[in-house]
Amino acid sequence: MYLFENAIRNIFRNKGRNIILALVTFLIIFAAAVSFFISGATASMIRNTRTQFGNQATIELKDETASTGGLEVAAYLKYGASDLLCKTEYSMTAYGRLDSLRALDEEAPDGQANTILAATSRTDLGDDFRKGLRSITRGKAPEKKGECLISEEFAALNSLSIGSQIKLLPADTGRTGTAEFTVSGIYSDNSVNGTGGQPGMPLYNRNNEIITTIETAAAIDFMVDSIGRQFNAVYFLKSSDQLDAFQNELLEKGLPAAYTVSANKEEYRQVVAPIEKLSKISNIFLLVVLLLGTFVLVLISVMSMRERKYEVGVLRAMGMKKPKVLLGMLTETLAVTAVCLLFGLLAGAVAAQPVANTLIQQAAQVNIHMTAPIIGQISMVALLLAGLSSTAGILYITRFEPNKILSERN
């Protein structure tokens, strides 16, 4: 007990030395805390993003310049029936021709495509609706087969309302067939480009779009294999490490060799790249701080060695055993470190967010949180650093016999 009491008293007895030690230790802990908090936050963000995007798979051409006829809609849907998936998202657009109805910005019916059939499997009807660029003002989203949404402008132009019937004809010349729809709801397009306004260009007016379910669109033969049809399939794997297994399954199901299944890397890269850059900077900074810090602490330890050496000599001459001398001096250093740790952590936590914001330059939002594992890591590093740097010095001094130390002094 007296060892610890004496160690604490010693801190105040040697104010000058301990103030310098405390200042340096505080700066190291502060800098390390900032780095640790940023590293922790970025690691967590990278992990979350990987979970979010890493399990999304799409079918892509191995060679984007290769000319292929593209995959059939039925194939995309067949591939989606897999036990490796937890969810699928399909979207499709195809050109069509309105039967007996007028399209916005259409000067006169000329037998050309004048509307776009947009289909999605998403219950939120896709990003436009999710982001508020479009919203349902009347009725409801299409659910049953043959139901659709039309815009307010289109409805007004053709005096359509909920329950009205719409017929769509093939846009491709030489194709026959009719697709019938029932209006289940009416949407308003709030985007800047939604209003169109270019006479003779009805396809440029988003309000001409007829929105339906993927099941409805996929059942219209003249649409699914029409020219200009776009189909996007996003497959959500139950686990991101099952990408290869899913690809093998698709190859067995008949996926042509020209195609490959890849994770949604682009979005992942866009989100993660700036965070990874920040993480890298903070890790390098941490390394520099720790190396410099260790160097400075060892330097202080060596500088105070002469003074400490005499102290060790006296204590040893009084019969104090080496381990006790070591323990007392270590306690002294660790007590100073503990106080610095408290203030360094608090200051680091306050400074980490603005530092992260400055470094990342608004490319992404990093939210710094003070978590127990990070506090534990910082504490371990600080105590280890202080312990090692002071132990090295003390061990060096305690190698000498007290007689040698005291005779040198006297």
Partner 1 sequence: MSILQMEQVSYQYAGSKKKVLKKINMAFEPGKLYVVVGRSGAGKSTLLALLSGLDLCTEGSMYYEGQDMKVLDRDAYRAKGIGVIFQGYNLLTNATALENIVLSMNISGSREKDKREYALKLLEKVGIDRDTAVRKVLKLSGGEQQRVGIARAIAHEPAIIIADEPTGNLDGDTEKNIMEILRSLAHDQGKCVIVVTHSKAVSKYADELWGLNAGNLVFLK
Residues that bind partner 1 (CB under 8 A): 2, 6, 9-10, 13-14, 311, 313-321, 401-403, 406-407, 409-410
Task: Name residue, tokens 């896709």.
Answer: 126
Residue 10 or 52: the one with the smaller Cβ distance to partner 1 is 10
To partner 1, the closest distance from the beta carbon of 335 in angstroms equals 16
Cα–Cα distance for residue pair 4/364, rounded to 1 Å:
48
Q: Report, in Å, the least distance between residue 399 CB and partner 1.
A: 15
Kindly state the smallest distance separating residue 378's Cβ from partner 1, in Å: 31
In the bound state with partner 1, the residue whose beta carbon lies nearer, of 122 and 322, is: 322
Which residue is it, tokens 């989203």? Answer: 141
Cβ nearer to partner 1, comparing 110 with 401: 401
Least separation, in Å, of the C-beta of 35 and partner 1? 36
* Residue 3 or 347 with smaller CB distance to partner 1: 3
Q: Are strands 210-213 and 115-120 parallel, antiparallel or unpaired?
A: parallel
Reference 111, options 42, 50, 170, 38; nearest CA is 170
Q: Return all residues near 336 (Cβ < 8 A) that are at least 6 apart.
A: 11, 18, 21, 22, 25, 386
CA 188 to chain centre: 32
Backbone angles phi, psi at 257, to 5 degrees: -65, -20
Helix (H, G, I), strand (E, B) or coil at 183: strand
Contact 120, 211 (CB under 8 A): yes
Give the count of beta carbons closer than 10 Å to the beta carbon of residue 108. Answer: 6
Q: How far apart are CA 109 and CA 101, in angstroms?
A: 9
Please tell me whether residue 213 adopts helix, strand or coil conformation: strand
> Residue 9 or residue 140: which is nearer to partner 1 going by CB?
9
Q: Which two tokens stand for residue 154?
A: 């289109």
126 or 402: CB nearest partner 1: 402
Judged by CB, which is closer to partner 1: 146, or 328?
A: 328
d(CA 34, CA 357) in angstroms, rounded, equals 12
Contacts of 212 (CB under 8 A, 6+ apart): 117, 118, 119, 142, 146, 147, 148, 149, 181
Smallest separation, CB 321 to partner 1 (Å): 5
Q: How far is the CB of 8 from partner 1 (least distance, A)?
A: 12
Q: Return the structure tokens found at 144.
A: 């049953």
> Quick one: 344 or 393, whose CB is closer to partner 1?
393
Least gap, CB of 14 to partner 1 (angstroms)? 6
Beta carbon of residue 314, minimum distance to partner 1 (angstroms, whole number): 5
